[in-house]
Amino acid sequence: MKKIHYAAIGMAAFALLAAIAAYYILSALSPPVSEYHAHANFAVYLNGTQFNFSQEKFMSSGQAPSNPYFHLHDMDGGVLHQHFPNLTLGYFFKTIKMEFASACFKTDSNASFCNDGGSRLRMYVQRANGTMMPNPQFENYVFEDLDRILIIYGNDSQALADTVFAKVPDNACIYSNKCPERGLPPNETSSCTSDSDYCGD
């Protein structure tokens, strides 16, 4: 009986040590989401009309959590919230049932806007304190904190792109606490999910 008792204790101790080791290995490989928090402003214009992302179906909340690592919330469809590094724009759009690639943008209602003879998809990015530049990475782009991103489908008029880019919001700095003179970020606890460690701010 004693041998069985010691064997059970040994197995339990081994399992505990294995669980602790796994926790520390995973922690080293994947930083907790609370340690990474970046924001970017974005807008999508399709044939001259801005797509409305400020809809309940695109928002993440405690009642309707979407992706805890990359999402929109607080009914602000112009600010991307990212809680894990190296996630792409293509990944974000998949989380809201859209598709984004260099040749095509597809909405959640399956409306497609693809390159043809007269219209094409373009993307522009303005880094913090920088100038607007065309960006060829499209769905593979990983944004930096305070980026301003424009995705536009239509004719190739640079004047149109300049005019539309001026309408891309610039309030991501509030969420990143980089422009305190503009006020404090809103309470984002509505975005917490009950089954994860994420509770962004």
Q: 121-137, pLDDT tens digit by residue?
A: 999 999 998 999 999 99
Confirm if 76 and 130 have CB atoms less than 8 A apart: no
Do 166 and 96 sit in the same domain of this protein? yes
Do 127 and 175 sit in the same domain of this protein? yes
The pLDDT of residue 25 is 44
Residue located via tokens 């913090």: 128
The pLDDT of residue 94 is 96
How does strand 112-114 pair with strand 104-106?
A: antiparallel
The pLDDT of residue 44 is 98
Do 79 and 7 sit in the same domain of this protein? no
Provide the residue-wise pLDDT of the chain in tens; the chain has 201 residues: 455 566 666 666 665 665 555 444 444 445 554 578 899 999 999 999 999 999 999 998 766 667 889 999 889 999 999 999 999 999 999 999 999 999 999 999 999 999 998 899 999 999 998 999 999 999 999 999 999 999 999 998 888 899 999 999 999 999 999 999 999 987 765 444 433 333 443
Do 139 and 103 sit in the same domain of this protein? yes
The pLDDT of residue 60 is 87
Domain assignment of residue 196, yes or no: no
The pLDDT of residue 61 is 76
Confirm if 81 and 175 have CB atoms less than 8 A apart: yes
Q: 50-78, pLDDT tens digit by residue?
A: 999 999 999 987 666 678 899 998 899 99
Smallest CA-to-CA distance from 153 within 107, 108, 97 is with 107
Do 92 and 144 sit in the same domain of this protein? yes
Single-letter code of the amino acid located at 64: A
Do 18 and 41 sit in the same domain of this protein? no
Note if the pTM is more than 0.75: yes
Domain assignment of residue 201, yes or no: no
For residue 68, give both structure tokens: 């805890």
The pLDDT of residue 201 is 39
Confirm if 145 and 39 have CB atoms less than 8 A apart: yes
What range does the domain containing 22 cover?
Answer: 1-30
Instruction: List CB contacts of 165: < 8 A, sequence separation 6 or more.
Output: 124, 126, 132, 148, 150
Domain count, the chain: 2
Domain assignment of residue 79, yes or no: yes
